[in-house]
């Protein structure tokens, strides 16, 4: 029972082919990790799944929850339950974290979020992430540390409760304590119905998450899949062997 079924996905950016035939199946409840050298197309895959207009699908299909979504716009995909973590690089003075998240939840769920119940939900999720309460009333990203911005992505995910969460290097630049908290947040979201794709380089996060599959994305293709041991092998030996084996294919 696959939640996500990507077949032969080819994607252009500004006329250049970046994804060159990606195949990936994600069943409900699974955690998948995508690793690979810089520039291989990991973020491109994330943006394409979310429906970013700059990424042009030239071949293949993305099937989500039984529907081909190639032509769906970002907001429709969000309503169907796809979430891509990304930092809001701009600081938004005048909009608090709480207001921002309440608006996002209203938009994605299609249900008005009343102030008092939403405050309660937010408090509960923030507790899980060991975030201080006053954080909710701060202006979005204004003076946030790198770690706070990353936790904010996880907070957003746990409020929106997507069917498929794609986390693109949400862990990079976090200290070990923050990585553990992020991992716990991710684990709490995951259940038999919800799936997660984590784009990351090898680190402690993977050991906490115990992913079902690890995939290597190299030059726009998934060239190898395995379990956590594949990630450990890459950590020891780098991508050189895999490059030698698969470049030109």
Q: Of 155 and 197, which has the nearer Cβ to ligand ADP? A: 197
What is the C-alpha to C-alpha distance for residues 29 and 226, in angstroms, rounded to an integer? 17
Determine which helix (DSSP H) or strand (DSSP E) holds 17, and give its type and residue range. Answer: strand 16-27
Binding flag, residue 1, ligand ADP (CB under 6 A): no
Residue showing the smallest CB distance to Mg ion in the complex: 43
Work out how close the CB of 19 gets to ligand ADP at its nearest, in angstroms, rounded to a whole number.
8
**Binder of ligand ADP out of 13, 57, 74, 121 (CB under 6 A):** 13
Q: Of 44 and 156, which has the nearer Cβ to ligand ADP? A: 44
Q: Report the SS3 class of residue 15.
A: coil
CA of 47: how far to CAs of 39, 83, 86, 168, 199, in Å? 14, 10, 10, 10, 12
**Binder of ligand ADP out of 6, 11, 36, 200 (CB under 6 A):** 36
Q: Of 30 and 168, which has the nearer Cβ to Mg ion? A: 168
Work out how close the CB of 43 gets to Mg ion at its nearest, in angstroms, rounded to a whole number.
3
Q: Among 11-19, 94-102, 204-212, 225-233, which window interacts with ligand ADP (CB under 6 A)?
A: 11-19
In the chain, the N- to C-terminal Cα span, in Å, equals 30
Question: Which residue has tokens 């092998």?
Answer: 233
Binding flag, residue 72, ligand ADP (CB under 6 A): no
Q: Of 113 and 200, which has the nearer Cβ to ligand ADP? A: 200
Other CB atoms within a 10 A radius of the CB of residue 137 amount to 10
Q: Report the SS3 class of residue 242.
A: helix
Work out how close the CB of 36 gets to Mg ion at its nearest, in angstroms, rounded to a whole number.
8
51 binds, among ligand ADP, Mg ion, none (CB under 5 to 8 A by kind): none
Give the pair of three-digit tokens for residue 15: 């006329």
Nearest to 200 by CA among 89, 19, 22, 40: 40
Site for Mg ion in 30-59 (CB under 5 A): 38, 42-43
Q: Where are the alpha helices (DSSP H) in 81-190?
A: 97-109, 115-128, 146-160, 176-189
Give contact residues for Mg ion (rule: CB under 5 A): 38, 42-43
Give contact residues for ligand ADP (rule: CB under 6 A): 13-14, 18, 36, 38-44, 54
């Amino acid at each position: 029972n696959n939640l996500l079924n990507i077949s032969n996905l080819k994607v252009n950016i500004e006329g250049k082919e970046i994804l060159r035939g990606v195949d990936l199946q994600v069943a409900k409840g699974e955690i998948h990790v995508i690793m690979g050298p810089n520039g291989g197309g990991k973020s491109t895959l994330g943006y394409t799944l979310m429906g970013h207009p700059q990424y042009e699908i030239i071949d293949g299909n993305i099937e989500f929850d039984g529907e081909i979504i190639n032509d769906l716009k970002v907001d429709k995909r969000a309503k169907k339950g796809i979430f891509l973590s990304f930092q809001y690089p701009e600081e938004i003075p005048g909009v608090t974290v709480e207001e921002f998240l309440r608006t996002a939840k209203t938009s994605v769920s299609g249900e008005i979020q009343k102030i008092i119940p939403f405050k309660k939900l937010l408090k509960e999720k923030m507790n899980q992430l060991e975030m201080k309460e006053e954080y909710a009333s701060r202006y979005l990203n204004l003076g946030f540390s790198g770690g706070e911005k990353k936790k904010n992505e996880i907070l957003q995910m746990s409020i929106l409760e997507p069917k498929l969460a794609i986390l693109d290097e949400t862990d990079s630049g976090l200290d070990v304590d923050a990585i553990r908290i992020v991992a716990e947040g991710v684990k709490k979201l995951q259940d038999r119905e919800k799936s997660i794709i984590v784009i990351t380089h090898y680190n402690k996060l993977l050991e906490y998450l115990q992913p079902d599959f690890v995939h290597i994305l190299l030059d726009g293709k998934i060239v190898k899949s395995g379990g956590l041991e594949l990630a450990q092998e890459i950590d020891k030996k780098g991508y050189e062997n895999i490059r030698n084996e698969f470049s030109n294919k």
